[in-house]
């Protein structure tokens, strides 16, 4: 038990799916897990464990931003002995060929956050996905005939950016999309010798300005959720 997660060690599976939104965690648990039980309600950050195809799996909200997922993923990895955290989130496209509802496997992350400064490295760290989780997700998506994109994303501390066009500089470097958590998750996993992957569904496009509604973001992310559940 921690001040943020009111559970005992055995309550949480080795693999945890983490959407940003705790209500998405509840939706996934109720729709996909057999015998789901809620292990956390602290701060409304709902967490559930159950079974999927006979395997124990947990799903818990991470909250928005690197500070929030930094806390929850650190506690899941260190106090609850979780081995794998798969973020399932939404993102905004930076590229013309990345359309809304497309799925991205975040191979690597760029960030404007200072999260890595805690490690006192003599240079910059490149946060990357766990290769086994990523290749498993990729083959599951291929078997489902889903055309997923694999590449770099930006994990940003800023949702409402005063520099409206700053994303174009990342786009020029081939960065596919922006979200707000993967870099911190990948750094915690690297530091603690654990495994992480972010699977993202494009909810809006900074290129075309198209967007999905918040109801769609909560309920229509089924392909991404099913890939993550199959990986678990």
Ligand X SMILES: O=c1cc[nH]c(=O)[nH]1
Least Cβ distance, residue 154 to ligand X (angstroms): 9
Radius of gyration of the chain from Cα atoms?
17
C-beta of 126 vs 158, nearer to ligand X: 158
The DSSP code for 211 is: B
Element (DSSP H or E) covering residue 52: strand 47-52
CA 82 → CA 42, 47, 66, 190, 229, distances in Å?
Answer: 19, 14, 19, 14, 16
CA 52 → CA 115, 231, 232, distances in Å?
Answer: 34, 11, 9
Out of 20, 47, 50, 127, point to the residue binding ligand R1P (CB under 6 A): 20
Q: Residue 64 binds which entry of ligand R1P, ligand X, none, with Cβ cut-offs from 5 to 8 Å by kind?
A: ligand R1P
- Helices and strands counted in the chain (H then E): 7, 9
One symbol per residue from 128 to 147: x for binding ligand R1P (CB under 6 A), - otherwise; what is it?
Answer: --------------------
Phi, psi of 70 (to 5 degrees): -60, -45
Q: Residue 92 binds which entry of ligand R1P, ligand X, none, with Cβ cut-offs from 5 to 8 Å by kind?
A: ligand X
Q: Is residue 89 a known part of a binding site?
A: yes
Q: Residue 190 binds which entry of ligand R1P, ligand X, none, with Cβ cut-offs from 5 to 8 Å by kind?
A: none
Convert 173-212 to b/e letters by CB count within 10 Å (16 or more is b): eebbbbbbbbbbbbbbbbeeebbbbbbbbbbbbbbeeeeb
Least Cβ distance, residue 216 to ligand X (angstroms): 12
Q: Is 162 a catalytic residue?
A: no
Q: Is residue 113 a known part of a binding site?
A: no
Which residue out of 11, 161, 204, 223 is catalytically annotated? Answer: 204
Tokens of 81: 């002995």
- Among residues 182, 224, 184, 186, the alpha carbon closest in space to that of 203 is found at 224
One symbol per residue from 92 to 131: x for binding ligand R1P (CB under 6 A), - otherwise; what is it?
Answer: ----------------------------------------
Alpha-carbon span 199 to 204, nearest angstrom: 15
| Residue 64 touching ligand R1P (CB under 6 A) | yes
Least Cβ distance, residue 121 to ligand X (angstroms): 25
Alpha-carbon span 94 to 172, nearest angstrom: 9
C-beta of 38 vs 211, nearer to ligand X: 211
Binding site for ligand X (CB under 6 A): 90-92, 159, 178-180, 203-204
Q: Is residue 114 a known part of a binding site?
A: no
CA 197 → CA 25, 83, 215, distances in Å?
Answer: 17, 12, 24
By annotation, the residues acting in catalysis are 204
Q: Residues comprising the binding site for phosphate?
A: 20, 24, 43, 87-90
Binding residues for ligand R1P, per CB under 6 A? Answer: 19-21, 64, 89-90, 159, 179-181
Q: Residues comprising the binding site for a purine D-ribonucleoside?
A: 4, 179-181, 203-204
């Amino acid at each position: 038990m921690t001040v943020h997660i009111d559970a005992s060690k055995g309550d949480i599976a080795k693999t945890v799916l983490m959407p940003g939104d705790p209500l998405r965690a509840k939706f996934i648990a109720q729709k996909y897990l057999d015998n789901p039980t809620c292990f956390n309600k602290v701060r409304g950050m709902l967490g559930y464990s159950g079974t999927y195809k006979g395997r124990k799996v947990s799903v818990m909200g991470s909250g928005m931003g690197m500070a929030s997922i930094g806390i929850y993923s650190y506690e899941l990895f260190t106090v609850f002995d979780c081995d794998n955290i798969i973020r399932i989130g939404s993102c905004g496209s930076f590229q013309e060929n990345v359309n809304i509802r497309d799925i991205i496997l975040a191979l690597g992350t760029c960030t404007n956050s200072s999260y890595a400064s805690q490690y006192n490295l003599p240079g910059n760290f490149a946060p990357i996905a766990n290769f086994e989780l990523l290749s498993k997700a990729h083959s599951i998506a291929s078997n489902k005939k889903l055309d997923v994109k694999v590449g770099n994303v930006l994990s940003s501390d800023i949702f409402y950016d005063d520099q409206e066009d700053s994303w174009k500089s990342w786009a020029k470097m081939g960065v596919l999309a922006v979200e707000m958590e993967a870099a911190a998750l990948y750094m915690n996993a690297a530091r603690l010798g654990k495994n992480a992957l972010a699977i993202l569904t494009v909810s809006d496009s900074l290129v075309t300005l198209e967007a999905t509604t918040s109801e769609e973001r909560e309920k229509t992310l089924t392909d991404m959720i099913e890939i993550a559940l199959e990986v678990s």
